[in-house]
A and B are shown apart, each in its own frame.
Chain A
Amino acid sequence: MSELLAVEGIAKSFKLKGHWYHKKEFSALAPLSFSVESNKTLAIVGETGSGKSTLAKILVGAESPSSGKIFLNGQQLHKQQLKQRCQHIRMIFQDSGTTLNPSLTVLQLLDEPLKLNTNLNESQRRQLIRQTLQKVGLLGDHMNFYPHMFSGGQKQRISLARAIILQPQVIILDEALAALDPSLRSQMINLLLDLQQQMGLAYILISHNLGIVRHFSDQVMVMCQGEVVERGDTLEVMQNPTHKVTKKLMMSQNFQLKHHKHKCM
């Protein structure tokens, strides 16, 4: 299968305030390369400050990398072509409550990306919004509601609808499942997996819940201080972790896993 998204030598460094003759640089992301195929999920795990959110922002185009190239379907994505990028790579944020504009209805929220990126007329847009809302498990009539009228899980579904309405190929989930209640979280995981099968989406999942990472992802990348310290198939990495950062992460959650396993037997 061909690579959908390929990243080559992406790096990011920030200039720190310093005296003019010894300027300091802080490297948030060491040069790293990886690729994702369609229908697959790449998970990125790591502690705070390991550069995983910076990587997500670079991929989606909110920040520009200091060096490196991003290829989508073999074509290089340039800084200037934001329009192309925001059609194909979409992002869902952690807190859906604060990322939806409270003064717009759901219709207006979902209309905005369509107006900016497609040539559909009004009735076609409305049709598409209705279909998308049904796809994420809401009703078409919900389009006239304001975000505050929905519960937390439904808000997360609206942000998912906003992400898939342009038929993207890659969706980045930046801790999108962390703030949800357990019963809604499993609904959301099921929905995401269904959509992956239907639309052939590739997900990049940023999470620190290893249980979800194990269930959800095919490949995993462990990051520490801007560098990738371990990568591979999720199950292999979890069964025999080699780097000490991975082991530490596993330890902090894994002895709980073993505990359950022991009990189940």
Chain B
Amino acid sequence: MNLLDIRNLSIELETTNQNILAVDRVSLSMKEGEVRGLVGESGSGKSLLAQAIIGVLEDKWHVHADRFHWRGIDLLRLDIEERKNILCRDIAMIFQEPMASLDPTTTIGEQLAEAIDSKQLSGFFWQKQQQRKEAVIRLLHKVGIKKHIQCMKSYPHQLTEAICQRVMIAIALASRPVLLIADEPTAAMESTNQGQIFRLLASLNQLKNMSILLISHDLENITHWTNTITVMYSGQFVEAGTTEQIFNKPLHPYTKALVDSSPKANLQLPSKSRLMTLPGSIPILQHLPIGCRLGPRCPRAQRACVEAPKVQNFHGHKVSCHFSLKDTY
């Protein structure tokens, strides 16, 4: 059974003039124990989608979906309180900038202690306090911080960014989630630290069977760590499939351009040769093209592209394009 099953989710922004469709009918499904990558450039609505899943969007954003199931429960039919309970219990999220997301005025130890649910503790209050402290230390050990005494006493600014991100992951793990949403966990980080964070997430996935939704703007960074990948462009669904399918046989012209433009993936290219690119730049939210939003930049665009294409499914490899590259392989 699917853990998370979202069908045709749209997010609309209410403005004074007209409503803007920021995310246009995106589908996303996750199985238990899966690491799914969600890839898109800036303005593709990937962070919006994550925020819509955990329900922290402001009131001016309107979310509609044909189906929004969490472990078989239809979340759209529940009232807000019930939905909040389920989401708090099962889903946790870590954010882009760990330094900015942690409270700068309290110590790491206090912030972690706050995150631990009192349902996990038992006994009298002095016993609970002791248990809470032990739980904090266990969490820190779990994310690979050995000097727990020093770490608990320090404030976020005294730690490096990688350690802060580990603390963020520890806070997310405190509620023992089933799904962890990682929104660009390694943005602006050194490559050695990036590797550490990804390895930590991978080990959590293997040992705890925790599902991870890994959001990133760069396809080449995450392909090593994911089982399946969903690609988005400018708020529209582009392509979804296993990592091998996406990387070896991209069906959508946009995915193909992403794979071709990465210097890391094309090591056989002679150095200083020209890289494949798409012309133009990413459209801004106020001036989105009609139909397929890649249209003006797409090398295969034809007249039919003014209408948004339907999603086609080739053995679990879904693509949303009128003229997919299926015939070229």
Contacts and interface: CB of A to CB of B under 8 A. Distances in A.
Interface in B248-286: 248, 257-258, 261-265, 267-269, 271-272, 274-278, 281-282, 284
B42 A189 contact: no
A26 to B, nearest CB: 18
Nearest to B41: A181
Given A151-B281, A211-B220, A252 B191 contact: yes
A186 B248 contact: no
Nearest to A185: B261
Contacts of A212: 263-264
Nearest to B283: A151
Interface in B202-243: 217-221, 223-224
B57 to A, nearest CB: 23
8 contacts: A181-B41, A183-B261, A190-B277, A210-B191, A216-B263, A216-B272, A234-B271, A253-B191
A186 B276 contact: yes
Contacts of A259: 223-224
A199 interface: no
Contacts of B223: 256, 259-260
Contacts of A261: 267
B248 A235 contact: no
Given A181-B42, A256-B223, A249 B192 contact: yes
A152 interface: yes
A189 B260 CA distance: 13
Nearest to A255: B224
A182 B264 contact: no
A214 B272 CA distance: 9
Determine chain B's interface SS by DSSP, over half rule: loop
B194 interface: yes
Interface-central residue, B218, B247, B257, B272, by most chain A CB under 10 Å: B272
A243 to B, nearest CB: 15
B79 interface: no
Interface in B171-206: 190-192, 194-195
A212 B267 CA distance: 10
B74 interface: no
A259 B261 CA distance: 17
Interface of B: 41-42, 190-192, 194-195, 217-221, 223-224, 244, 247-248, 257-258, 261-265, 267-269, 271-272, 274-278, 281-282, 284
Nearest to B218: A182
Interface residues of A, number: 41
Nearest to B224: A256
Nearest to B261: A186
Contacts of B217: 181-182
Given A211-B220, A253-B191, A183 B278 contact: yes
B267 A214 contact: yes
A214 B271 contact: yes
A183 B224 contact: no
Interface string A199-218: 00000000011111011111
B42 to A, nearest CB: 6
Interface in A46-83: 47-48
Contacts of A183: 41, 257-258, 261, 277-278, 282
A261 B247 CA distance: 11
A153 B280 CA distance: 10
A255 B278 CA distance: 28
B2 to A, nearest CB: 27
Contacts of A24: none
Contacts of B258: 182-183
B281 A193 contact: no
A256 B257 CA distance: 19
Given A211-B220, A211-B263, A153 B275 contact: no
Contacts of A217: 271
B248 A263 contact: yes
Contact of A182 (B190, B247, B248, B262): B262
A249 B264 contact: no
A225 interface: no
B194 A252 contact: yes
Nearest to A253: B191
B267 A208 contact: no
Given A187-B277, A263-B244, A47 B192 contact: yes
A154 interface: yes
A104 interface: no
User: In the complex, which of the residues A185, A186, A193, A209 has the most CB atoms of chain B within 10 Å of its own CB atom?
Assistant: A186
A257 B267 contact: yes
B264 to A, nearest CB: 3
Contacts of A235: 271
Given A214-B267, A260-B267, 14 more contacts: A47-B192, A151-B284, A181-B41, A183-B258, A183-B261, A189-B263, A209-B264, A211-B263, A211-B264, A215-B271, A216-B263, A217-B271, A252-B194, A257-B267
A116 interface: no
Nearest to A179: B188
B219 A182 contact: yes
Contacts of B194: 252
Contacts of A218: 271
A248 B190 CA distance: 12
Interface string A240-251: 000000001101
A249 B193 CA distance: 11
